[in-house]
Amino acid sequence: MSTIFDRIIRREVPADIVYEDEQLIAFRDIAPQAPIHVLFVPKTPIATLNDLTPEQAPIIGQLALAAADYAKREGFAQAGYRTVINCNGDAGQTVFQVHLHLLAGAPLGHFGTPIR
Ligand code: 5GP
């Protein structure tokens, strides 16, 4: 199934693309949740993390490496950043093409709210 991210990859929908190679594309989130919010999206269609096969596992590593490289290039790797992959409804996944969020640019606070 085609998603908005496929359309960005095919240049049918505009996006602020910050990195691209044969395996993945990275662009700024349209509704940023931090001063820096970039999405790293593989070009292989995979709807959710649940659909990742063992053979596709390196794809997640490529997303993580590309995010870390971007943080180093942009000079905020030492300050820190957060990476997130949402999966399905309880995590609020809205685009069903696996993607890694990179959030940075300010102290991001504690992650989540503890369950009592
Ligand atoms: P999810 O909630 O699925 O983990 O994240 C999807 C993300 O994609 C959201 O943060 C949302 O703001 C972003 N997004 C949705 N549509 C577009 C779009 O057309 N362009 C860009 N750049 N980001 C989008």
Please write the tens of the pLDDT for every residue from 89-112: 999 999 999 999 999 999 998 877
State residue 115's pLDDT score: 76
How many helices, marked H, and strands, marked E, lie in the chain?
3, 5
- 93 ligand 1 Cβ < 6 A: yes
CA of 79 to the centre of ligand 1 (A): 25
- For residue 62, give the 3-state DSSP assignment: helix
State residue 1's pLDDT score: 65
Q: Determine the residue type at 62.
A: Q
Please write the tens of the pLDDT for every residue from 22-76: 999 999 999 999 999 999 999 999 999 999 999 999 999 999 999 999 999 999 9
CA of 85 to the centre of ligand 1 (A): 12
In terms of pTM, does the model score above 0.85? yes
Set out the domains of the chain in order of their start, with CATH numbers.
Answer: 4-104 (3.30.428.10)
Q: How far apart are CA 65 and CA 73, in angstroms?
A: 12
Q: How far apart are CA 68 and CA 80, in angstroms?
A: 10
Is residue 113's pLDDT more than 90?
Answer: no
Q: How far apart are CA 77 and CA 44, in angstroms?
A: 27
- 30 ligand 1 Cβ < 6 A: yes
Q: How far apart are CA 43 and CA 34, in angstroms?
A: 25
